[in-house]
Structure 1
Amino acid sequence: MSLRNTINASVSPKGSLETLSQREVQQLRETGSGSVYALFRQCALAILNTGSHSDNAKTILEAYPDFEVKIHQQDRGIRLELLNAPADAFVDGEMIASTREMLFSALRDIVYTQSELENQRVDTETSQGLTDYVFHLLRNARTLRAGVEPKIVVCWGGHSISSEEYKYTKRAGHELGLRGMDICTGCGPGVMKGPMKGATISHAKQRILGGRYLGLTEPGIIAAEAPNPIVNELVILPDIEKRLEAFVRVGHGIIIFPGGAGTAEEFLYLLGILMHPDNAELPFPLILTGPKSAATYLQQLHAFIGDTLGEAAQKRYTLIVNDPTEVARQMAAGIKAVQQFRRERNDAFHFNWLLKIDGSFQHPFEPTHANMAGLNLTRNQPLHELAANLRRAFSGIVAGNVKAHGIRLIEEHGPYEISGDKDIMQTLDRLLQAFVEQHRMKLPGGSAYVPCYRVVT
């Protein structure tokens, strides 16, 4: 990515943003080694770069080397001074409204996260403590709305998908919107945008004025996948595990569309949770779907789940090919069952407290070469633990594909090595090779994909 047109600007929050303390402002003003400032700068640049067709965080950062954010404390709150910012984020010198909202959402979440960690209110040693942390992050972002009946559908899938697959996600989103459903995604392009775009039209048809398009992300992802402009609620969680937990705590049902390594990671995460014995009776509608052109992909992913986790895992979801109307009907019916279940047990509609999430799904996984090589990908463990470790393998591949830190590790040390039981490695290798052949690893239009991993069979 070559150097782009830039602009200098000064912006203030739209709506309300809690006043920052002098210490918080000082943290953000730090340059050089200031980790909080560096994190906000990275997220801010990604948000201002909305519409980019790159999914390489390193490339985006290199395109704007002189970009800088200065935070000024004022009597009426704060003001951001942007130097050498992407010009495409502005119209006639004014920042686009959705971009400004997301910029200050990033500031809100990063400051709050740092404050919580410094005050040591987060109990990272227990599963309940980590869930409470996710709850507080979402509540601070005003995502949790008590008393509202369940209607949030989480849509997972790839950022690098075909035109036909993208159109299918829009049709599915349109059908969901006609039934009054709100959409939650990872906030980027591809599947993260299509269902939202479809729902905006159907919400307009149904005269639904308060449609929610919730985007949940984390710093490593947002730097590579800028939020799409339809998102009207953006939340940046501290890491991938808390982001994934936020999805399953606020969502009332999940649809898996075609994708690549990141989609497989999310799918395995959810299946691992649902296969925990404590969740056996808990309703959670889960649908795997795509257009007719993606039937081979869907069957490959379905077969991979059967080969690794077995028929019990396959029974936790419904496979629907080329029928977005049926997808929406089944999801709406599934969410009604969720509503009834929570009423009977006095569980909140806005946060799924009853869902048991084992600690192995909550603690951050650092995809170093040693950690990737040390993953336990054998059958001598409970199935939900195998799912957790398979999820970590895909998480590492995502990091090596698009995250700045992962890309640097691959450049320095070569591809990750992944090993385990021979049959698991063989089915994993087949699936990954299919992803490469179907161009599901990177955004189209770039250079040929070079694997960041090596499966040892």
Structure 2
Amino acid sequence: MGYEHAESFTTHTPLPKRADTVSARISPAGGLDVLSRNEVARLRDASGSGLHALLRRCALAVLTSGNISDDPRSMFEQYPDFDIQVLQQDRGIKIELTNAPGQAFVDGQIIRGINELIVAVIRDIVYVSAQMEQGAFDLEDSVGITHAVFEILRNARILKPQIDPNLVVCWGGHSISRDEYEYTKQVGYQLGLRAMDICTGCGPGAMKGPMKGATIAHAKQRRRNNRYIGITEPGIIAAESPNPIVNQLVIMPDIEKRLEAFVRTAHGIIVFPGGVGTAEEILYLLGILLHPDNAGIPFPLVFTGPAEASPYFEQIDRFLRLALGDDVASRYEILMGDPITVARSMVKGIDRVRNYRLETKDAFFFNWALSVPFEFQQPFRPTHEAMRSLAIHRDRPRHELAADLRRVFSGIVAGNVKDEGIRAIEERGPFEIDGDPVIMQALDALLQAFVQQQRMKLPGGNAYVPCYRIPGGRRSPAVKA
């Protein structure tokens, strides 16, 4: 899937030359509750306190579904005069689109799937905004945040109580090789033959492939009511426009709630090759699974890809074992080049999940039993002060160390490729990390592997140079591309 950082390491693929635009007034499809006058007014309000800018950004991403670009700015440059308005009508609402991308229409009629996703955008923006404004979400402790995630998913009708566990979340990069993409389709196909539904970050690459494979398998099995769930958030939807297969979209308010939504709804997770963002996601999930409260909870986790992608997971496995201990590998399997074995392993793992939920009387549709510590739910802004406060030492509890390792990745990404982080490094020098030198050198080796595998492309093709140092003058060596 690759969340906020995963896309930063791909070359910018420009959108196609602007095609014709269409202006239309459409009726919402897929079900949308009536809106109050206040909600409609806020959706139309373009001021700082209004929701119009957010609605416009998310709607344009949906209308350009299928485009492959990791630069959200190019989308707005291509359609600077696009606008969307929600209009109150006697019998409900209408959606007015002005200068919308023509690709979203066929003979002047909006494609139904795109219409449904626009409705999902309006639904989630209105609901989350209203709940926040009313103080309905208690975001001051872990339990309150989890309940907020549950309420957003329930309002989006993602939680289905009458379905046995069968939801497989797939993570991985949105810019992967053709062979890796074809492999994700093969895995999705095998999962679909076994009646599994698919949930991803909703974008292209490893987020689209499993859905595409599953659609063929579901059709062969004459299976109906299939779920292809896309979970995103406002900060990245423009860079990861929903792929055309997504039939249930939910926009979480931020990345941390998006990640928690994945692990709460998943009955198992498959990780395909990606980049640093995928490695961050792995550390997020393993940090949760390593928490003592989660020791007995079954949660199938499989790392997989075509045989030629083995070096990616070999390097990650080596790093995880060094930093978190060899027994961390008991929480995941590495199965390369064998989609059938991957699917069979996932089905067996989900059978264990089903039995556990029955024994503990936990819900099939939401993993209430899983403990997600408060520190995993809090946003991390990688400043010099925040990075200096991280303690990367192997004598810490492993789940705490995993949480800080994930923050290290966030800081390294920001310091190398994000404007704010690059400026901070230029002004104040490298981030200081109070870390175990062995772990820091292993981290360098991991990043070097990403560079060599062309999974970490820096602007201008420059060599990767660490943007951090260890206090006391110890510094990890530079990594050359």
TM-score range relative to shorter protein: over 0.9
Q: Which residue of the other structure, out of 409, 415, 418, is the alignment partner of 2:420?
A: 409
Within a 5 Å distance, the mapping from 1:248-397 to structure 2 comes to 248-368=263-383, 370-372=385-387, 374-396=389-411
The percentage of aligned residue pairs carrying the same residue is: 55
Within a 5 Å distance, the mapping from 1:175-194 to structure 2 comes to 175-194=190-209
Conserved in 1, the CA contact under 8 Å of 2:302 and 2:332? yes
Conserved in 1, the CA contact under 8 Å of 2:268 and 2:300? yes
Within a 5 Å distance, the mapping from 1:22-101 to structure 2 comes to 22-101=37-116
Q: Which structure has the larger Rg over C-alpha atoms?
A: 2
1:93 Cα deviation (Å)? 1.9
Conserved in 1, the CA contact under 8 Å of 2:30 and 2:119? no
Q: Secondary structure at the match of 1:234?
A: strand
Q: Which amino acid aligns with 1:295?
A: S
TM-score under structure 2 length normalisation: 0.88
CA-to-aligned-CA distance 1:344-394 (integer Å, 9 cap, x gap): 111110111111111111122234565345433333532111111222333
Q: Secondary structure at the match of 1:439?
A: coil
Looking at structure 1, the residues matched to 466 and 73 of structure 2 have their Cα atoms a distance apart, in angstroms, of 19
Q: Secondary structure at the match of 1:200?
A: helix
Looking at structure 2, the residues matched to 68 and 408 of structure 1 have their Cα atoms a distance apart, in angstroms, of 28
- Aligned match of 2:221: 206
Conserved in 2, the CA contact under 8 Å of 1:368 and 1:409? no
CA-to-aligned-CA distance 1:198-230 (integer Å, 9 cap, x gap): 100110111101111111111112121111000
Does 33-42 or 182-191 show the bigger shift? 33-42
Unaligned 5+ residue runs, structure 2? 1-13, 470-475, 477-481
Q: Which amino acid aligns with 1:419?
A: I
Does 14-23 or 430-439 show the bigger shift? 430-439
Unaligned 5+ residue runs, structure 1? none
Q: Which residue of the other structure, out of 114, 119, 137, is the alignment partner of 2:129?
A: 114
CA-to-aligned-CA distance 1:215-270 (integer Å, 9 cap, x gap): 11111121211110001100110111111111111110111111112211111111
- Aligned match of 1:138: 153
Q: Which amino acid aligns with 2:431?
A: E
Looking at structure 2, the residues matched to 411 and 52 of structure 1 have their Cα atoms a distance apart, in angstroms, of 28
Looking at structure 2, the residues matched to 450 and 31 of structure 1 have their Cα atoms a distance apart, in angstroms, of 42
Q: Secondary structure at the match of 1:320?
A: strand
CA-to-aligned-CA distance 1:296-337 (integer Å, 9 cap, x gap): 111011111112112121111011111110110111011011
Q: Which residue of the other structure, out of 238, 260, 267, is the alignment partner of 1:245?
A: 260
Looking at structure 1, the residues matched to 447 and 194 of structure 2 have their Cα atoms a distance apart, in angstroms, of 36
1:399 Cα deviation (Å)? 6.5
Q: Secondary structure at the match of 2:114?
A: helix
Conserved in 2, the CA contact under 8 Å of 1:425 and 1:455? no
TM-score under structure 1 length normalisation: 0.93
Does 144-153 or 1-10 show the bigger shift? 1-10
Looking at structure 2, the residues matched to 146 and 14 of structure 1 have their Cα atoms a distance apart, in angstroms, of 24
Conserved in 1, the CA contact under 8 Å of 2:389 and 2:434? no
Looking at structure 1, the residues matched to 98 and 412 of structure 2 have their Cα atoms a distance apart, in angstroms, of 34
RMSD of the alignment, in Å? 2.3
- CA gap of 1:374–1:231, structure 2 versus 1, over 3 A, is same
Looking at structure 2, the residues matched to 418 and 211 of structure 1 have their Cα atoms a distance apart, in angstroms, of 48
Matched positions, count:
451
1:453 Cα deviation (Å)? 6.9
1:292 Cα deviation (Å)? 0.6
Looking at structure 1, the residues matched to 25 and 147 of structure 2 have their Cα atoms a distance apart, in angstroms, of 36
- CA gap of 1:353–1:295, structure 2 versus 1, over 3 A, is same
Conserved in 2, the CA contact under 8 Å of 1:417 and 1:453? no
Looking at structure 1, the residues matched to 411 and 137 of structure 2 have their Cα atoms a distance apart, in angstroms, of 26
2:430 matches 1:419: no
Q: Secondary structure at the match of 2:405?
A: helix
- Aligned match of 2:232: 217
